[in-house]
Structure 1
Amino acid sequence: MTTAVTPTVQEPEIHVFSLWDVLFSGGIVGNSIMIAIFLLGILALYIFLERYFFIKRASKPTPNFLENIRDFIQDGKIQTAVDYCKSIDSPEARMIEKGLARIGRPISDISNAMQNQGQLEVSKLEKNLNILASAAGAAPMLGFLGTVVGMIMAFFEISNVTGAVSPKLLASGIYTAMATTAVGLFVGIPAYFFYNILVTNVDRLVLKIQTHVNEFLDTLNKPL
């Protein structure tokens, strides 16, 4: 009596999605590009947080600041007003201090001195914003570069295959290459918003400072 042999059915191999394998399976060149993108992301986040809190401290209002300056000027206490400005750590206080130190000169000289100080204050507020903007643009570009390099490497491997090309080989090379673009956009898009948030805050603070400076110059123009 013969026993029938039941053919064994081979179950399809199931691959578990691994983010680590997708991100860092692009070889030396791909991994280097991926690391560079991550470093740009860390740099962008650091600059954003550092600038955000710096601008926030500079924007902190001083109650009755202009009123006190106006009272000191009317009482003839110019040095007291200068010392009062020195005790306040804000861009407008430093600008008005420059103006107070030149009281007695023509109003144009006072205005020019305050404008020069204002340019220094704006440069302090905008420190490293150009680096943040560069990171926002460079991260996607590096991602595209990684994709192009990955596709070149994938098709190079395919060209060395004799016979039919396995779809698995083609697919694995493509999704590994596209990972750099995804990460580049993931870093570049927030960095772009970070940059615009900081620029908006700087512009708002500069407008506020300019308003206070104009009020100070109006006070000097008024007869005592």
Structure 2
Amino acid sequence: MFAIFQKGGPVMWPILLCSVLSLAIFIERLYVLIKSRPYVWDSINVFKQQFITNALNKKTIPECPGIVKDMADVLDLGKDYTIDYELHEAEHKLVRYATFYVRNLEQRLNWLAIIGNIAPLLGLLGTVTGMIKVFMGIQNMQGQVNPSALAGGIWEALITTAAGLIVAIPTIIAYHYFEDRIDDITGALKELISDILEVIKQ
């Protein structure tokens, strides 16, 4: 395997670096996302169950666990939220908290997008430079082309393209997976904010 890696040339090293970075970011973001499940989804489920049964009011919202409690903590629940100005201020605080939380979930995801775009380009660069060497070798042979040597030079040049795609494909899949999960959380938080405002203005 290392012999094949070496035949790919110097471009294989930045491709390897991309693969290491991509894997590290994937593991770290997956851990963050898994850890967010009870904090977000379990909390929202508890809130929804009580919201549906009309068991919530301004005083009982902070008793919900996780993100619902933290969002309630940013509000001054002693205020009269029947006043439009106060209700608008509460909405602004909740949106700001939700935005901050979502941005934390999105950290370093842009690097996955960058790696997913750069890796195949690095592979193509390695193939182009490899093919240049092949054709320079053909020129130096002055027409005495050895088909076996030519085929060997071409497959060595194609190694970097394959390596770049091997890194890029799972990286792009991981990026879109995280984006979809975060979009789900964003949508749930928007609905949660609307429900919290509905409760506190009663």
Q: TM-score, normalised by structure 2?
A: 0.83
For residues 172 and 218 of structure 1, do their structure 2 counterparts lie closer, same or farther at Cα, with a shift above 3 Å needed?
same
- The CA distance in 2 between the partners of 1:196 and 1:102, in whole Å, is 42
Residues 1:180 and 2:160 aligned together: yes
Residues 1:95 and 2:71 aligned together: yes
Among 162, 180, 191, which residue is 1:200 paired with?
A: 180
For residues 103 and 160 of structure 1, do their structure 2 counterparts lie closer, same or farther at Cα, with a shift above 3 Å needed?
farther
Maintained 8 Å contact 2:75/2:93: yes
Residues 1:135 and 2:120 aligned together: no
Q: Partner of 2:107: helix, strand, or coil?
A: coil
Q: Which runs of 5+ in 2 are unaligned?
A: none
- The CA distance in 1 between the partners of 2:156 and 2:121, in whole Å, is 17
Maintained 8 Å contact 1:143/1:183: yes
Give the drift of 1:102.
7.5
Per-residue CA distance 1:83-112 (angstroms, 9 max, x = gap): x57xx554x443332234684461001101
For residues 152 and 163 of structure 1, do their structure 2 counterparts lie closer, same or farther at Cα, with a shift above 3 Å needed?
closer
Q: TM-score, normalised by structure 1?
A: 0.76
- The CA distance in 1 between the partners of 2:78 and 2:171, in whole Å, is 42
Maintained 8 Å contact 1:59/1:205: no
Aligned pair count reads 190
Q: Which runs of 5+ in 1 are unaligned?
A: 1-18
Among 58, 65, 68, which residue is 1:73 paired with?
A: 58
Give the drift of 1:123.
0.8
Residues 112-123 of structure 1 aligned to structure 2 (within 5 Å): 112-123=92-103
Report the equivalent of 1:49.
Answer: 27
Matched to 2:7, the amino acid is S
* Amino-acid identity (%): 29
Give the drift of 1:64.
2.7
Aligned-residue Cα RMSD (Å) equals 2.4
Per-residue CA distance 1:34-67 (angstroms, 9 max, x = gap): 1211211121122112112212221221363464
Maintained 8 Å contact 1:48/1:198: no
For residues 40 and 93 of structure 1, do their structure 2 counterparts lie closer, same or farther at Cα, with a shift above 3 Å needed?
farther
Maintained 8 Å contact 2:95/2:193: no
